């Protein structure tokens, strides 16, 4: 679903894909997050980290009556406090989406799909 905003100059259509990209970029900038992963790509305990061009695949967005709900699927770094990383992600994604997209965010759910140990490289 998408959100349509009508102005005196015409229509603005904001798709869930656009909101997903904004949310994914905001999340990946947070301290403690290693990357995003696709919910559908978790098989046999292996998780595929998404590249920057595919961040929106690690985000599920619903827009209902102009209100946004966001689900994020992330990998966090070993040694970080998962609850604090998740809280920071929630706050930043909510703020960025509301500021850049101009639509209220009802909730942001963070699903930590794994912990990545830094290999020292």
H/E stretch holding 90 reads helix 82-101
Q: Which tokens go with 63?
A: 């827009």
Q: Which helix or strand (DSSP H or E) is residue 2 part of? A: strand 2-7
Tokens of 57: 């695949």
pTM: 0.82
What is the reported pLDDT for 44? Answer: 45
Model pLDDT for residues 39-72, shown as the tens digit of each residue: 665 554 555 555 555 666 789 999 998 899 999 9
The model's pLDDT over 4-31, given as tens digits with 9 standing for 90+, comes to 888 899 998 889 999 999 999 999 999 9
Q: What is the CATH number of domain 16-116?
A: 3.30.70.1350
pLDDT at 38: 75
Token representation of residue 13 = 């259509």
The C-alpha atoms of residue 43 and residue 40 are separated, in whole angstroms, by 8
């Amino acid at each position: 679903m998408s959100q349509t905003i009508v102005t005196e100059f015409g229509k603005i259509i904001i798709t869930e894909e656009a909101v997903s990209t904004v949310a994914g970029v905001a999340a990946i900038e947070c301290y403690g997050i290693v990357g995003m992963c696709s919910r559908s790509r978790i098989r046999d305990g292996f998780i595929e980290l998404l590249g920057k061009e595919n961040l929106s695949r690690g985000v599920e967005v619903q827009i209902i009556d102009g209100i946004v709900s966001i689900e994020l699927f992330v990998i966090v770094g070993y040694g970080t406090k998962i609850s604090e990383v998740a809280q920071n992600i929630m706050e930043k994604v909510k703020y960025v989406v509301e500021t850049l997209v101009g639509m209220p965010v009802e909730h942001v759910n963070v699903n930590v799909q794994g912990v990545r140990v830094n290999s020292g490289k």
